[in-house]
Chains A and B, each alone.
Chain A
Amino acid sequence: MVSGLINPNPVVYEKKERRVRGASSNADEYAVEPIDQQEVFDHIRDIKDPEYPYSLEELKVVAEDAIEVDDQHSYVRITFTPTVEHCSMAAIIGLCLRVKLIRSLPSRYKVDIRVAPGSHSTEAAVNKQLNDKERVAAALENPNLVDMVDECLAPTYG
């Protein structure tokens, strides 16, 4: 695949404690519970980095407070931070995030994915590609790319 690691020495952070999603006891149990930041974070935190045996959370590529959710308008925006600013894996990481959310969220959801401002040398190009659904659709018909994405998503299946 890639010879030589892009970031030879990534900083690995501790995982955040997993909280039980708070359900207030007196709430109507049949009420539709809106999707929130924490739920979206739980969908993506365990995605494996394309290069390392660490999760995107452990590498601080994704964080809960970099997720914006507007359930009423069916909208999510994920801002992720590549470990290094010339990271050639940024597009793959973004694709993994997109695929995971396509599989996890209701189809009414609109998802925007972008790299954190100032965190990547070709920020605008990466953002444009990740949000062009035609190019994403074409990428997801490429068996090699799909294998890579599936490998990164494997730990979060279930």
Chain B
Amino acid sequence: MEFVDGRFELREIQKLEGHTDRVWSLAWNPATGVAGIPSVFASCSGDKTVRIWEQSHPAASWECKAVLEETHTRTVRSCAWSPSGKFLATGSFDATIAIWENVGGDFECVSTLEGHENEVKSVSWNASGTLLATCGRDKTVWIWEVLPGNEFECAAVLQGHTQDVKMVQWHPTVDVLFSCSYDNSIKSQIWADEGDDDDFVCVQTLDEPSNGHTSTVWALSFNSSGDKMVTCSDDLTLKIWGTDLERMHSGDGYAPWRHLCTIAGYHDRTIFSVHWSREGIIASGAADDAIRFFVEDNEKDGLVDGPKYKLLLKEEKAHEMDVNSVQWSPGEKRLLASASDDGTIKIWELASVPY
């Protein structure tokens, strides 16, 4: 892989201030940052608001275009754009999920989803934008069907986890949902057309006996083709999992995931966020204030023992406090946004350094 021999540096492009409490999460609008459309992302915070940031022109700075407030009454923990970029879903500790519609640059709350008993911790749209998944401290995962007229209908309530569910994430190409939890496990749930009440069934649990994590799993991310997944944890490791994509796309859509390798010894405190770029660079954000980048490196030992990953770059003190979220932009440039307990968001460019 080209990155293995390259030299890289991380350049801070911009530091964005505005939130008055820790920034928990951020999400790039997938329909922006390409074809001359200025890039847009949303951030959410302990200050109960969501902020929308837009780049004034390609290659210019980001500015806060809108503050979505007075809808959530507690911390907004998670935000996610629908694939079309028209809707933003936000999940809050106030136990609700708000759906915002972008009408010519103005954001209007068009729906509020209720059902979780307490704190909602994550929201995720499937690849076609027809399903929304949410999860929370009540140990459940909810699947909502998106109906015409901004209606959302609960299609399933999944009860498999034994603790607080930290994150839900749909597979990029198949309607299989992944969730990770304070119970240390990752679950893979799939639509089962059996006509029963339980439309979704848990098809696999990746836990400690299957080489999984030994403490809270905070986040997960897929590579661009969807045959690999990375997870991050309070146990200070990243784990890489792999599956047979062909099998996943055929038949009943289920193919088991297996542990490929563990990236250990690099992080000093809890890893809260991990994101895999389209070109294959894994970024991690952790409670030691650092951002790290990893790439696959199979030059020495080949694939005999499975893939190996090496540290490409570590940015110490990327923020003054914990890094809660790292997200690669959808645009052509290698841009990463990070959100922190210090209340700021930073935009970075991972640039190659000429020899």
Check A21 for interface membership: any CB of B closer than 8 A: no
Q: Which residues of chain A are near B182, meaning CB under 8 Å?
A: 128, 132
Q: How far is the CA of A52 from the CA of B342 in the complex (A)?
A: 36
A131 contacts across to B, CB distance below 8 A:
234
Is A103 on the interface with B (CB-CB < 8 A)?
no
**Cβ < 8 Å to A, chain B residues 120-153:** 121, 137
A135 x B164 contact (CB < 8 A): yes
**Given the complex, which residues of B lie within 8 Å of A110, measured CB to CB?**
269, 287-288
Shortest A18–chain B CB gap in Å is: 32
Taken together as a complex, chains A and B put the C-alpha atoms of A134 and B93 apart, in Å, by 10
Contacts of A141 in B (CB 8 A): 74-75, 93
Given that A107-B321, A108-B321, A132-B182 are contacting pairs, would A138 and B93 also be in contact in the complex, using a CB cutoff of 8 Å? yes
* Chain B 27-58 residues near chain A, CB threshold 8 A: 46
Q: For the complex, is A11 an interface residue (Cβ under 8 Å from B)?
A: no
| Chain A, 52-68, CB within 8 A of any chain B CB | none
CA distance A141 to B75 in the complex (A): 8
8 Å CB contact of B75 from A107, A128, A138? A138
Residues of A within 8 A of B166 (CB): 134
Q: Is B215 located at the chain interface by the 8 A CB criterion?
A: yes
Residue pair B321, A134 in contact (C-beta under 8 Å): no
Does A107 contact B342, Cβ atoms closer than 8 Å?
Answer: yes
Q: How would residues 143 to 174 of chain B score, 1 for a CB under 8 Å from any chain A CB and 0 otherwise? A: 00000000000000000000010100000000
Taken residue by residue from 251 to 276, chain B's Cβ proximity to chain A (1 for < 8 Å, 0 otherwise) reads as 00000000000000000010000000
- Number of A residues with CB within 8 Å of any CB on chain B: 12
CA distance A128 to B93 in the complex (A): 20
Q: Contacts A128-B216, A132-B182; is A138 near B137 (CB within 8 Å)?
A: yes
Q: Which residue of A lies closest to B74 (CB)?
A: A141
| Interface: B101 (CB within 8 A) | no
List chain B residues, Cβ under 8 A from A132.
182, 216, 234
Q: Is the CB of A108 within 8 A of B46?
A: no
B320: interface (CB < 8 Å):
yes
Tell me if A16 counts as interface (CB < 8 A to partner B).
Answer: no
Which residues does chain B contribute within 8 Å of A133, judged by CB atoms?
A: 287, 322
Query: Could you tell me which A residues sit within 8 Å of B by CB distance?
Result: 107-108, 110, 128, 131-135, 137-138, 141
Binding site for A on B (CB under 8 A): 22, 46, 74-75, 77, 93, 118-119, 121, 137, 164, 166, 182, 215-216, 234, 269, 287-288, 320-322, 342
